[in-house]
Amino acid sequence: MYELDLAQYKLSRFPGSMLEVLTYPHTILSKKSIPITEKDFNNDLFELAKDMLYTMYLSPGVGLAAPQVGKSIQMFVMDVDFNRIDLSAPDIENTEDTENDDNYNNNTEAIETAANSTPTSPLSSDQICTKFSAFLAEAKNKDKDYDLIDHYIYSDFAPTVLINPAIVANEGQIKYKEGCLSLPGVYEEVERSQKVVVEYLDLNSKKKVLAAEGLQAVCIQHELDHLNGIVLIERLSFLKKGLHQKRLKKLKKQKQK
């Protein structure tokens, strides 16, 4: 049995290593990925899922599909509400989980901020130590699973691995500003279903059904698109697509220099 549950994440560095994320326009990103068969459920698949989760958490992202790391197979990982606290950044308002709607907005903002920010007033190592001690005391008090990597504390993990996923029902509409690790700097509103029911296999080849709404539903549809060779940019207007293509081309040229 492959256990990729919270037990692995508790009080130890979470497992895995960083994979290279392919960026648009890479040919693999436009290919339809192939279903995973019974013989593929082995340790290699488990290791890949582990590394994909690790890469997703550290990026940080909320979802990552196998084609994004160069594997054209029908698998993606997601976790839409883990916590990541930057110890080296001055305290920002700690928004508690209130209404779901607020939550979605906070999450994309958090992704956006983390991606674009260069800390302006980094704390001294002493201050970081003090902050970490305070967190540690609170975490132990609440019996909370957490992990410390660099200057970040990660907690509230709910890693999910979806294999051969298929949406079997959907309902409503939601507009959400999406990003993608394969499209650096693209944050655009896309319309999707507000609720979806997805059937998939877990890492033990066990059939699962998940009913999701809001951010999680958006994530499932975004990642399923990847498995079908559709990148977020394809869902934008002709004009926006052109602008982003131009910008991404420039970015790639700059990186090569």
| Interaction site with ligand QAP (CB under 6 A) | 59, 61-63, 108, 111, 115, 176, 178-181, 184-185, 215, 218-219, 222
Segment contacting Co ion (CB under 5 A): 72-80, 152-160, 173-181, 200-208?
173-181
- Nearest CB to ligand QAP, comparing residues 103 and 205: 103
Residue given tokens 């800390």 in the structure block: 119
Q: Name the residue nearer to Co ion (CB basis): 78 or 153.
A: 78
C-alpha dihedral, 128 to 129 to 131 to 132, nearest 10°: 110
Residue showing the smallest CB distance to Co ion in the complex: 180
Residue nearest to ligand QAP (CB): 61
Nearer of residues 41 and 200 to ligand QAP, judged by Cβ: 200
Coil, helix or strand for 21?
A: coil
From the list 111, 180, 220, 224, which residue makes contact with Co ion (rule: CB under 5 A)? Answer: 180
Which of ligand QAP, Co ion, none does residue 83 bind to, with CB < 5 to 8 Å depending on kind? none
Per partner kind, with CB cut-offs from 5 to 8 A, the member of Co ion, ligand QAP, none near residue 45 is none
Q: Are 146 and 153 in contact (CB under 8 A)?
A: yes
* Partner that binds at residue 86, options Co ion, ligand QAP, none, CB closer than 5 to 8 Å by kind: none
Phi, psi of 145 (to 5 degrees): -80, 135
Distance CA 35, CA 166 (A): 11
Q: C-beta of 212: minimal distance to ligand QAP in Å?
A: 11
Written as one string, the DSSP assignment of 101-133 is: HHHHHHHHHHHHHHHH---SSPPPHHHHHHHHH
CB 45, CB 204: distance < 8 Å: no
Q: For the sheet with 160-171, list strands across it.
A: 63-65, 75-78, 160-171, 195-201, 207-213
Say whether 223 is catalytic.
yes
With CB under 5 to 8 Å by kind, the binding choice for 162 among Co ion, ligand QAP, none is: none
Nearer to ligand QAP, 145 or 178 (CB): 178
Of 20, 99, 189, 223, the active-site residue reads 223
DSSP letters spanning 188-237: EEEEE-SEEEEEEE-TTS-EEEEEEEHHHHHHHHHHHHHHTT--GGGGS-
Residues that bind Co ion (CB under 5 A): 180
Give catalytic residue positions: 223
